């Protein structure tokens, strides 16, 4: 019979990190990969595009706090450059 155990995101993160560290100690080390993640951030539009951009940047930085070893590159308006990955 399987049991369902409820854990928080924080507890899950701790479990994953401890398992990762255990595997790394037993193996040779890290192999680095890089991926790009695009995040759509929506902010209320004002008459000041620079202000809107700063608010969006703050929101992205909040998201970034949850992603270790992350880097935020250029923040852009997809409509300005015609970019739509979907």
Domain extent listing, the chain: 9-81
For residue 69, is it left (φ>0), alpha (ψ between -120 and 50) or beta? left
What's the rounded mean pLDDT across residues 14-18? Answer: 83
Which pTM value belongs to this model? Answer: 0.54
Q: What is the pLDDT of residue 29?
A: 66
Residue 60 structure tokens? 């992205």
Q: Fill in the DSSP letter of residue 28.
A: S
63 pLDDT above the threshold of 80: yes
Q: How far is CA 22 from the centre of its chain?
A: 24
Q: What is the pLDDT of residue 20?
A: 75
86 pLDDT above the threshold of 70: no
**Alpha helix locations (H) across 27-84?**
49-64, 78-81
pLDDT in tens, 18-47: 887 777 667 666 677 888 878 888 999 999
| Residue given tokens 């004002």 in the structure block | 46
């Amino acid at each position: 019979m399987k049991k369902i155990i409820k854990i928080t995101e924080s507890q899950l993160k701790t479990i994953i990190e401890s398992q990762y560290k255990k595997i790394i100690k037993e193996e040779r080390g890290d192999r680095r990969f890089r991926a790009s993640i695009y995040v759509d951030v929506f902010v209320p539009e004002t008459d000041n595009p620079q202000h809107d951009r700063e608010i969006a940047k703050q929101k992205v930085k909040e998201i970034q706090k949850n992603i270790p070893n992350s880097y935020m590159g250029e923040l852009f308006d997809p409509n300005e450059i015609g970019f739509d990955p979907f």
